[in-house]
Every structure is written in structure tokens, then in C-alpha cells.
């Protein structure tokens, strides 16, 4: 290789290393230090009108973090619902880095309650930042600690379901279950067990409150293939699969 090419090669290599490292750090910070929630997120569409809206609540998955366009499954699902005349518009009220307590606070807002009360369809992504946001998860993991987090947070997830149903008892409502972004880690199997317990608890609560659970657990098997460059959030392909699963459940619920 000519001498003049070596500086260019080294510069490009360093640049790629920094970029990949930034992705990992961004994902870690999003979990361990979620930003202060803006209670009212901006609408993706025109203001809602009664009975024809799809409202999306939740965290980074609802915001679409990891997708190439920053939209994720909500816009994919919303546009498909519009194309098939199941709704006229949709609103994304997701908050990047949101935890269950942030969503509970959001549900106390009068404007959010008004919007939800008029919704035909509601989707929820929440809980991942609670379950994974512990120092033990990343540096000193123990299954006992993870189970303790689960036992603490599942009652809070029930509060979310209960509050949403009190606001709107009739909307087709879906909760997106958790997947395991740590399958390739030394504790991958233990994480599998914890996340499956979480999802099973969510399904039990769903039966109680008439909220269906979208199964994403089997959509993330290979982190490099199924996740974005931050190795935590879904990539475009996985977001599309989540959207497809979400739409099928909604369509079936509305037809029935």
C-alpha cells in the first residue's frame, strides 16, 4: 500500500471504531440515565377526533430508536391502519428512555387522558428500562436481583393497564412484550428466563384488563442480525416484524 494511503486507512478505522462505540454508549445511557420525560409528545398527525385514532404510548421502541428513519413500528402500523381505513390518523406519545413511572405520570395529564379517551386503538411499550436499569444487570448481574426488580415492577405495570382501562375501557389495546437483547452475553439464558417471566406476567394482566400482548421474544435471536448498531434496539427488519404482528392482532380484534 502506498505511504500516502496509510494515514487515510488509519483515520477511517478510528472513525468506524468511535462510531460503533458511540452506539453502545448511547444505548447504555438511554437505559441507565433516561432523559427527563416530556409529558406531552408531539403528534405525528393532525389533532385527534373521536373514534378514529391510533395512540401509541411508551418508551424508545414507540419512538422508533434504532430504525434508519427514527420512526419504528408505530408509523408502519399507523400507515397500514390508515391505508385499510381502520383509522384516520395516529399520534405517537412515546418518550425516549421512559420508565413505568414516567408513563404513569403521563397518564395523569388531562390532555393525554382526553386523547386516550377518544382513541380507537392504543399500543404500549414499557418496562424494559425498568427491568434492565440496574447496575447488577450490566456489571454484577444476579438472577436474584433481576427477580426482585420483576416482582417490584409488575404491580406497577398493572397500574398502567388499570389506568388506561379506566380512561378508555373500549379501545383495542396492545402491550408489546419484551425481547432479550443480551442473548449472546454470558448470562443470556438467565436473561431469557427473567424476560419470559415478565412476559407471562404481562399476559396474565392482559387477560384481566382486556389487553393483548404482542410477542416479540422470538423476533430477536441474533443480536447482530436483529438489532440496530447499538445492539439493544430493533433494526428496520425487526421493527417491520413487530408492526406486522401488531397489525394482525388489531385487524383480528376489530373484525371480531
> Is residue 180 a part of any domain in this protein?
yes
* Separation in Å, CA 229 to CA 27, 102, 234: 9, 26, 9
Distance CA 235, CA 164 (A): 29
How far is it, in rounded angstroms, from Cα 254 to Cα 86? 8
Structural domain contains residue 241: yes
Q: What's the number of domains the chain is made of? A: 1
Digit-coded pLDDT (tens) for 63-122: 999 999 888 999 999 999 999 999 999 999 999 999 999 999 999 999 999 999 999 999
C-alpha 3 chain-centroid distance: 48
pLDDT at 256: 66
Is residue 134 assigned to a domain?
Answer: yes
Task: Give a yes or no: residue 24 inside a domain.
Answer: no
Reference 35, options 83, 99, 90; nearest CA is: 99
83 domain residue, yes or no: yes
Q: What is the CATH number of the domain that holds 92?
A: 3.40.50.1110
Flag whether 23 is in a domain: no
Write down the pTM of the prediction.
Answer: 0.83
Longest dimension (CA), the chain: 71
- Owning domain of residue 197: 53-255
- pLDDT score at 141: 82
In a domain, 66, yes or no: yes
In a domain, 111, yes or no: yes
Amino acid at each position: 500500500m502506498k505511504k500516502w494511503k496509510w494515514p487515510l486507512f488509519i483515520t477511517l478505522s478510528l472513525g468506524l471504531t468511535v462510531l460503533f462505540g458511540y452506539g453502545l454508549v448511547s444505548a447504555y445511557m438511554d437505559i441507565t440515565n433516561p432523559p427527563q420525560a416530556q409529558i406531552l409528545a408531539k403528534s405525528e398527525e393532525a389533532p385527534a377526533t373521536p373514534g378514529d385514532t391510533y395512540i401509541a404510548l411508551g418508551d424508545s421502541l414507540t419512538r422508533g430508536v434504532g430504525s434508519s428513519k427514527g420512526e419504528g413500528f408505530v408509523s408502519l402500523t399507523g400507515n397500514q391502519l390508515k391505508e385499510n381505513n381502520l383509522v384516520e390518523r395516529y399520534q405517537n406519545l412515546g418518550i425516549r428512555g421512559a420508565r413505568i413511572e414516567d408513563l404513569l405520570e403521563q397518564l395523569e395529564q388531562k390532555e393525554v387522558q382526553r386523547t386516550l379517551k377518544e382513541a380507537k386503538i392504543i399500543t404500549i411499550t414499557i418496562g424494559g428500562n425498568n427491568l434492565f436499569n440496574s447496575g447488577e444487570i450490566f456489571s454484577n448481574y444476579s438472577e436474584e436481583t433481576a427477580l426482585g426488580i420483576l416482582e417490584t415492577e409488575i404491580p406497577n405495570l398493572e397500574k398502567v393497564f388499570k389506568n388506561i382501562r379506566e380512561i378508555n375501557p373500549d379501545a383495542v389495546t396492545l402491550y408489546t412484550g419484551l425481547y432479550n437483547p443480551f442473548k449472546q452475553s454470558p448470562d443470556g439464558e438467565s436473561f431469557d428466563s427473567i424476560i419470559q417471566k415478565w412476559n407471562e406476567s404481562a399476559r396474565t394482566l392482559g387477560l384481566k384488563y382486556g389487553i393483548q400482548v404482542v410477542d416479540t421474544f422470538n423476533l430477536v435471536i441474533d443480536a447482530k442480525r436483529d438489532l440496530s448498531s447499538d445492539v439493544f434496539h430493533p433494526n428496520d427488519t425487526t421493527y417491520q416484524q413487530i408492526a406486522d404482528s401488531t397489525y394482525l392482532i388489531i385487524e383480528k380484534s376489530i373484525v371480531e
